[in-house]
Every structure is written in C-alpha cells, then in structure tokens.
Amino acid sequence: MAAAQVAGSLPSGPAQEAQREPPLEQGRGFRCLSARLCALRPDDSSSSRTEIHLLFDQLISENYSEGSGVAPEDVSTLLVHACRLVPLNQNHLVSKLSQLIHHLLNTLQVIVDEQNLDFLLAYTISAIQQCSSWTHMQILQALAALVYCNGSKCQKYLPDLLGKSGLLMKLSDLAQSDPEVRRAAVHCMANLCLSVPGQPYLEEPYQNICFQAFLTTLQSPKSSDMDDITFCMLLQNALKGIQSLLNGGKMKLTQTDALGALLAVLKKTMFHGLPGLNIEMPTVLYPTPLPQCDGRPPIKPQQTESSTSRPAVNKRKKSKVKVKKIQQGEEEEEESSGEREVAPVTGSGRLNPHKGDTQCPSSLGVPSLPLAGSGAAGKDQVSSSFSSSIWKRVSSSESDYSDAEGGMQSKVRSYQAKVRQGALACFLSTIKSIEKKVLYGYWSAFVPDTPELGSPQSVSLMTLTLKDPSPKTRACALQVLSAILEGSKQFLSVAEDTSDHRRAFTPFSVMIASSIKELHRCLLLALVAESSSQTLTQIIKCLANLVSNSPYNRLKLSLLTKVWNQIKPYIRHKDVNVRVSSLTLLGAIVSTHAPLPEVQLLLQQPCSSGLSNSNSATPHVSPPDWWKKAPSGPFLEEATVSSPKVSSEPCWLIRLCISIVVLPKEDACSGSDAGCTGGSTYEPFPLRLEALQVLAHLARGYFSMTQVYLMELGEVICKCLGEADPSVQLHGAKLLEELGTGLIQQYKPDSSIAPDQRVPVTLVVMFWTVMLNGPLPRALQNSEHPTLQASACDALSSILPEAFSNLLSDRQILCITMLLGLNDSKNRLVKAATSRALGVYVLFPCLRQDVIFVADTANAILMSLQDKSLNVRAKAAWSLGNLTDTLIVNMETPDPSFQEEFSGLLLLKMLRSAIEASKDKDKVKSNAVRALGNLLHFLQPSHIEKPRFAEIIEEAIQALISTVLIEAAMKVRWNACYAMGNVFKNSALPLGTALWTSQAYNALTSVVTSCKNFKVRIRSAAALSVPGKREHYGSVDQYAQIWNALVTALQKSEDTTDFLEFKYCASLRTQICQALIHLLSLASASDLSCIKETLELNGDMVQSYIIQFLKSGTERDDTGAPHSPQERDQMVKTALEHISSVQTLAGDTSKRAIMGFLEDILTVYFDPSGSQVALLGLTNR
C-alpha cells in the first residue's frame, strides 16, 4: 500500500527516472537495522540495553516517507523479536519499544497478522499490568495501533481489556488521574470497535460495554487538569467509537433511553467550541412533537450591543497550509480556508450570517462531491462524503503548531471544529441506523422552528449552517439535515398553513408548516452568505431535498417563488458543482406536486428576470432566436406553424436547458469543472445530464408549456442519441419517453385539454418520423449498452396510437420488427422493456385486428413468461393480460373473421402458460389470472366442444378458484374475482351444470362475506350478479346459498377494524343490493321459499339498504353498475314484475310475501302523492 502511495506521488521527467530504484534499495536502512536487532539475544547487561536503545532510536528516526520495500511480515517479525529482547522490568525500554510499535505500524500502514498479533497483545497487556504508570501512555498508543482493524482477532483478550475489571475500563474511567492516559484508553476502545468488511463484528455484550463507556465520556465535563486539545481528542475518539459501532458493528438503537442519551450528547458536541454559544442539554432527549428547551443562557444586552457594533472585517490572519503526512490515527486539517466571522445571536434570537473577508480556494476541507447529474435531489452519498476523511487513526503525537501557523488558539479552534464534524458524522450514522418514524419524534430538537416574537431561536442544525466558521462543518451540518429531510414527504404532508390559526394551542400541522417555512428562510440566508463553493453546493442540494418533500399545495404561496428567484443567479456560477445542484433544485421545484399554479407563473416569467447581478458569475440565457444558430432540422419551420398557441411568453427554463445541452460553452472550464474532458466544446457532462433531467420533469409536470418546443426538443433528443456517451443517450431516451407520455395523456378520453390546445396529430406524426429516421433505431440495436436499449424500448412504447396509425408503413414495420427481435435479447432489462412495449402495441386500434401481429406478439410474450427473471415474467404477464383484452375487444366487433382465423393451438398454449403463471409470485399472478378470465371468456363453442380443451378449461377454472381463496395480495384476489366474472359471461361454458360451478360460487360467497378488503368483496359481489339465466346458478340449494351469503354480506357491510375500508362501505352495499335484486329477477318458484325465510328474519335490514341504494344518487363505483336513479328503480320494478309472473302452487304464500316486500320498497321510494297509480296497476296484473 505504501509503495502504491509513493509511486503516485513521484515527479515526472528525469528526476522520476533517478528515483526509480528497486524497492529493495528503498528499504535497505530498515533491513540493516532489523538484521542487527534480530541478531541480538536476550541479555540483561547494561551494554545490551544501550545497544537496544540505540537501535530503537535509529528505527524510529529512519525516513519511511518513501516506505516501499518494507514488507508487513518483516515489520511484525521485527516487533515480536524486539518484545522478546525487552523484559517488562525495564520501564524505559518498554516505553521506547511501545513508541517503536506505534511509529512503525502507523507510518508503514501495517495491519499485524493474527499469529504475531496474539504474541504482541499478550506482551502489551502484561506491560500495562506490570510497568510503571508513566509508561502507560506509550503502551496504550502501541495497543491502539495493534488492534486497529483487528478487533475480530482479539476475542480471547476482550475479557482482559473490556471485562468488569478490564484494563481499558479502568484506564478510561472518569477517576483516571492522567487525562492523556484516559484519552489513549478511549482511543484503544474505539479502534477495537472498528470492523473490517467480511470480518466478524464485536460481540454484542462488548458492543454495549463500549457504547456505554463512550456515552459516559461524551456526557462528562472537562476536568480541571485536562487541556482543551486533549479534551477535544478525547471527544473525537469517543465519537469515532460510537460511529464504528453504528456503521460496522450494525448496532441497533432500539431502546428509547439509549437513543435519547446519544442524541442529547450529539447535540451538545455538535456545538462544541462554537464561538458565542454554550448550551446545556438534558441527559436524555425524549421524542416529542413540541419544541425542546435547550437551556441556552440568555445573552446580555450589553454583549449584544458591543459585538454587533464591531466592524464587519475578519482580522484573522491567513494560515499557511503546511503539507503533512497523515499517519494512521492522526489528521491535521487546515480549517481557515473559507472561514467567516460569526455574527452573534441578536436579542431576538435571529441568526445573522456575517460575511467578512472570505476566501474561496480551489481545494477545501470538504471532499469533492460526485458530479453525477442523475439521481434524486439530495441523494449525494451523504454517508461517505465527509465521514471517511474524519476517522483516520487518531494519535496523541500531534505535531505542535508554531506561532506562524496561528498559535495555540488557532490550534484549539481547529480541534474543536473536528469535534463538531465528528459529532455530525456520528449523527449521520445514527440517522441511518434508526427508522425514520423514530427519528421524526426528535424533529424539533434538530430542525428550526419560527421563534415567537421576542423569544430567542432554539439552536439547531441551521445554527451551525449559519454561524460555524469552518466551511467543512457547515457542509457536514447540511448533509445531516439533508439526510433528515430525505424521505420525509409523508411526515411533512400533515403541514398546513393555508389559513390563520388563532387558537389557545398550536396544532401539530401548523407547527410543521412553521418549521418548513423557517427552513426555507434559513437556507436562503445561508445561500446568500456562503463563500465556499463546496458548502454552497450542499446548501442547494439541501434546498432541493426540502423542496422535494414539502407539501406546497397545503402551504401559503411565495415559498417557492423566493427559492426560485434566489437560485437563478447560481445557474451560471463559476463552479460546475454549484451549477449542477442549481439545476437539481430547479428540477425539484418543477416536479413537486406538479402542476402548481405558482410554478406555472414562474415558468412564464421573462427570461431576463433574476438572471443577473450575481457576485460569483453572470448567467446568460440565449436570445429568442438562439436555436437558429444551432444545427437545425428540416422540420423546425413547419413545427412553428403547426404548434398550438398555448403561451405567448416562451419558457426561459426550457430554452436555458436546451442551450446547455446543445450549444458550445462560452468559456473554458474552470479549475473546479471536474466533469470537463480535454477538448470538449460542450458544457460538462453532469450539467448537460441535469439539464436533460429538468426537461424531462417539465415534460411530465408542465406539458402544456413544453409542447410548444416539441420539434426543438426532438432535435435535442436526436443530438443526444447520436452522441458517443451512453449517459447522454440514456437521458435523451428518457426525455423522449416523457414527451411521448405527455402526448398520450392529451388524447386520453378523460383528458381535460381542449382539442384546439392539443398537439395536432400531424405534428406528432412528424415528430415520431424524425425520431425513427434519426438515431433511435441505432440506440435500440446498441447491444453494448443494454440499459440504453431498454430505455429506447420504453420510449418507443410511448408513441401516440393515433400517430402510429398515420406513420408510413415502413416505419410501422420497423417498430414492430425491432421489438419482436429484441424480445430474444439475453439481457433481462431489454427483455422486460420489450415485453412491456409489445403489450402496449397490441392495444393499438390499427394493430389489434391484425391476426399475424397478435399471434407473433403472443408467441413472444409466452416465451418471456418462461424467463428466469421475475421482472421479465411480471412484464410479460401484464402484456398477456393486455393481449387477452384485445381478444375480447375483437370478439365484440361485428366481424367474426378474427375469431375464426385465430389459432386454437395458440389459445391452448396461452391457457397453459397463464395457468402456470397463476402459480408464480404475486407480481406475475395478478395479471395471469386476468388473462385466464379473458381467455375463458373468449373461447368459442367450436373450441369448447373439442376434447383437448375440456381438461384445460377445468384446470384454468380451478386455478382461478384457488387464487380467489388464497391469502395473496389483495390486487391478486381482486383480479381473480374480476376474472371469474368474465368466465361467467361466456354462455357457451357449462355454467350451472359443470362440477366446478358449485366450487366457483362457494369461493365467491366466502370472499363476499369474510374478506378483509372491501374492494375484493365488491368485485366478488359483482361477479355473482353476472350470470344472466336462472339455470346458470345451479340447483335450488346453490341459489339459496348465494342468496343467503349476499344477505349476510349486506348485514356485515360495516364490520371492519380498518378505518381505511369504511370509505368503500357504500359501494359494497350498492353492489350487494344490485346482486340481490338481480337474483330476484331470475328466481324460480322453487327459490321463493328460501327467499321468504330470509326476508322474515332480515327483511327490515335488506329493505332499508335497498331503499338507500335507490336514493343514493349518481355515485359511480368500480364495477360499472347502473348508477342513474331511473336505472335503479327499473331494476326493482323488473324484479317485481318477474316475481308476479312466477307460477306457484295453490296455498304458497312466498310469492305474495316477496311481492309485498318489493312493493313496500317502491312505496317508500316513490313520492306517495305521485307515482302510486302506476304501482297499483303493476301489482293488480
């Protein structure tokens, strides 16, 4: 490892050649000294001790900066032999040996092997037990270096180290008199907790012991005999230990007290050493939605006045950066770069960021952020972006600062900043180790709320963001806040601020809304005050996370407008990371709760509004005719003429994004433009990708504005698909899919877009012609990049059906041929996308009656249903369901040619595949049963008569029955009930006489009375009302069972423990009433006695619900049942008319009782003064 580091740092040119000596030459000094030491034998003479002292000093002083050539096993062998030479009664030699162990392992980055570790651990533990206390500091340093990344190999020594009377427990105790020894002991414990991937974790009992020790260390105040730097290092080691337990040890904080205690000390150490701030925290934080008291002492007015009257000039001297080697366990950071003076907290508690003399160097303490332009806003690997650089091995042998480097005060400030960063890194690990719903119980402890008038604002993560002088700490705080905000949409959705709340208490919804507003205010303050580009990037990403999760539809207007106006100047910032994150934020704004009227207005602002006066850079937006200067296609002029007139004001954001993607950049890349490549004339890739994502968001949420640029965007897509970079091609394909989907939405039957506001079909045809004549077919055939192929398939499936039918025939054939060909792909992503696309095409009106195409598609889908990938099978099952929907549509057309020409053998194959798929996972099963229902509905008498169909029909129906009854996902059972209703529609099937009839009805009646999900009950009741003839219901007993089950279901229609089901109660009763009336309208004389018995027991209940059904207005349920009042009362009249026509035996009172029941319903329903004549005429007949 050391060799690799050296090779990477060698200069180029002749000097490099001179240094290219064999590794053996570079390690010669170590080997000579090692040989001399290993030649010695244990000897207690004075001369021997002197020689050992001398060799140890030479080994320590040897220059290892070029360190290659020293093998780790040689180091381990040397240390073992050295331990054998040094008896434990020689304190000075033991101390020198400990220094040697620590120095060699740290400098040469050596992890000791297990066999030598065993010996060295035994020696160091014995040394602590037997040697004088003044040697303990050096011995503990050696022990810390030995156990680093070796915790899993120290199992047998853990009782000696961490047991009740363990060495580390004693030495780290608060009673330990030597603060340096205490710090070193905590350091050893932290290194023991550090785990290596693939190695066993520290056992849980020892994890808990260490956790409690670290927690106690963090909770204890600084003792009088401990200096500030030692205390900072002690806190750092304890924080590092807890973070190691949470990250590598996978420790779970399940107890509220443990979590609350940890969060309390983390909040305290987050502000450690922050100028002008000293907070006292309770021992434990408890979850509560109310603001917590942080015990911050009030600020005296005179202090406030004196501090605020100081001139706004940063008089801190610039610190020179000293290049240092980072040893294992120690890290020196330069924090002065980008620092700023901290404004004091004013009397009102407001945080006033104060920009003094600021610096913005090209390299800050924050690691460079990845330049990925894709991905959700704010998801920028917050786990590793700052934690990895903080937790290197911490050593006590920190180099002294000279006066020229800032003096002791500067050194203390640097260490305090590292403590704050360590606390934030530990907090980030804590967030990842607990559930979000638990974390949000502590929301008010870490997220600001709008302070009451005259009261100080509570300290929070935003306090650090606005006040901390270290840019790295500010970035850390923002990353933690981003992690809290990420995935908080459900929690924040309760916020409401649309009306004034003048109450004796503040509702929780108002409190959350207030917190959201304060976050916006503080982050925008930080945006204006920030000078560090890296921290600026984190502020903008944090804003994007906030925007993505805030319920703006429930908040007052202007929040987004403020964010929008303040971010616009940063779109052309000199730092590419800032530009990328600015576009990410704009993308979040246009995608949150789209379409929002506020955002619609912002998009229509004049292009010059807010795009200038930036201190960092002057943004530019191309003039209105910018695209004429860009490579243009032959269709732009036609597009301008044909486009519908939606908005007179062009959308500046669309024009900006297009210019970023297609136009050459105006100036060379800055030093921070990491995405720039040599010789590239375009903007950096991350910026172009983010611009494409913003365009996709606009196409999805604000298509009415995007459609004006349809042909221009087509040119952009062609350019992207024609580029060499696969990521640009992929984003171009995604944009094409969004545009295609937007066009489809416009032409849906339920679309609210007026016909004259839609994109004309002729223009859509022109658009897709450009796509198919351009690089889209090449992207579909690019087997080197299967993700691009899959995305291109998704784009091709988003073509408007009306436009597809108007394409030239060769373009139609091209689409179909490529999709059928790609279905044979070995890549699962491509195969899944192709299966889905074929399922879309098979519904196209111009293709669904093409028997050859439908048959080819069926064969392709059946092949995909056998794939090993669950995702492929799920997409194929969905497409099979669509294909069978097409069969039903064709069956209902007057022309019987399709049914006659469709292969019976292919129908058999489809039935067998659907039966097998119905036994698959729920994702596949839900559409498999849908397909089975359609196929059984489609079967013609000519098919059913054939013997080879009899067995498969029985098997298919049994598959549906079992799916209705199994405890599967509710969507699966719903589809199974729907499919059963489809089966009942096929009058050619022997419904009523076949053996499976009773099983099917028993399954449906079981569901309608007992299923927990009311939507499934509704669907089963609808299926029971499908058969159109009395003989389809089977025997009298079968009919009676169905009737009684429906009455029972009506009686139990409000029995549920899930309040979410109550909204379906009315629909369930509606469907059951329709089923009961339908059964009455088909009843035979033999059925009347059963009906009468039920009505005698439950007549009043049934009557009240049927009257409610008749009066229930025109609400529509999900079964397609009649919903007009005329249709409903006609159903009852038809049933009454049928019952009156049934011939019964003399003396049978059932008929009269049922007729009286129905007459009473109609009497109550109709106006007594109106329609009674018609009613009497009906009953006298």
- Mind listing the pLDDT tens digit for each residue in 469-478? 999 999 999 9
The pLDDT of 1048-1058, averaged and rounded, is 81
Residue 781 has pLDDT above 50, yes or no: yes
pLDDT of residue 501: 55
Residue 619 has pLDDT above 90, yes or no: no
- Mind listing the pLDDT tens digit for each residue in 588-614? 999 999 899 999 999 988 765 545 444
pLDDT of residue 14: 40
Residue listed under structure tokens 């994004």: 657
Q: What are phi and psi of 990, to 5 degrees?
A: -80, 55
Calculate the average pLDDT of the chain.
Answer: 81
- Mind listing the pLDDT tens digit for each residue in 805-864? 999 999 999 999 999 999 999 999 999 999 999 999 999 999 999 999 999 999 999 999
Residue 65's pLDDT band, with cuts at 50, 70 and 90, is low
Residue listed under structure tokens 């530019």: 620
d(CA 207, CA 246): 10
The pLDDT of 934-948, averaged and rounded, is 91
d(CA 591, CA 693): 10
The pLDDT of 728-751, averaged and rounded, is 95
Residue 719 has pLDDT above 90, yes or no: yes
pLDDT of residue 508: 85
- Please name which of 63, 43, 397 lies closest in space to residue 230, comparing C-alpha atoms: 397
Q: What are the structure tokens assigned to 528, written together?
A: 């204006």
Q: What are the structure tokens assigned to 214, written together?
A: 């670290």
Residue 904 has pLDDT above 70, yes or no: yes
> Are the C-beta atoms of 441 and 427 separated by less than 8 Å?
no
pLDDT of residue 46: 86
The pLDDT of 938-947, averaged and rounded, is 90
pTM: 0.80
- Mind listing the pLDDT tens digit for each residue in 1014-1039? 899 999 999 999 999 999 999 999 99
pLDDT of residue 525: 94
Residue 633 has pLDDT above 90, yes or no: no
pLDDT of residue 1162: 86
The pLDDT of 128-156, averaged and rounded, is 91
Residue 26's pLDDT band, with cuts at 50, 70 and 90, is low
The helix or strand, by DSSP H or E, that contains position 115, with its residue range, turns out to be: helix 114-130
Residue listed under structure tokens 């320590």: 60
Residue 268's pLDDT band, with cuts at 50, 70 and 90, is very high
Biggest CA-to-CA distance, the chain: 134
d(CA 332, CA 421): 13
pLDDT of residue 921: 93
Residue 342's pLDDT band, with cuts at 50, 70 and 90, is very low
Residue 982's pLDDT band, with cuts at 50, 70 and 90, is very high
pLDDT of residue 323: 37
Residue 365 has pLDDT above 80, yes or no: no
Helices assigned H by DSSP within 663-806? 685-701, 703-706, 710-721, 726-746, 761-773, 776-780, 786-796, 801-804
Q: What are phi and psi of 942, to 5 degrees?
A: -65, -30
- Mind listing the pLDDT tens digit for each residue in 214-224? 999 999 998 88
Residue 395 has pLDDT above 50, yes or no: no
Q: Pick the residue with more confidence: 42 or 98?
A: 98
pLDDT of residue 630: 39
Residue 1 has pLDDT above 50, yes or no: no
d(CA 421, CA 236): 9
Residue 632's pLDDT band, with cuts at 50, 70 and 90, is very low
The percent helix, strand, coil of the chain (3-state, each to 5) is 60, 0, 40
pLDDT cut 70: percent of the chain above it: 78
At position 191, the amino acid (one-letter code) is N
pLDDT of residue 249: 62
Q: Pick the residue with more confidence: 280 or 69?
A: 280
d(CA 197, CA 225): 39
pLDDT of residue 504: 63
pLDDT of residue 498: 62
pLDDT of residue 852: 95
- Mind listing the pLDDT tens digit for each residue in 201-248? 888 888 889 999 999 999 999 888 889 999 999 999 999 999 999 987
pLDDT of residue 84: 92
- Please name which of 1139, 1134, 1129, 1131 lies closest in space to residue 1162, comparing C-alpha atoms: 1129
- Mind listing the pLDDT tens digit for each residue in 661-671? 998 876 544 44
d(CA 711, CA 581): 28
The pLDDT of 133-159, averaged and rounded, is 91
d(CA 1116, CA 1126): 14
Residue 398 has pLDDT above 80, yes or no: no
Q: Could you give the C-alpha distances from 708 to 516, 587, 597, 640, in angstroms and in order? A: 35, 19, 19, 8
pLDDT cut 90: percent of the chain above it: 53
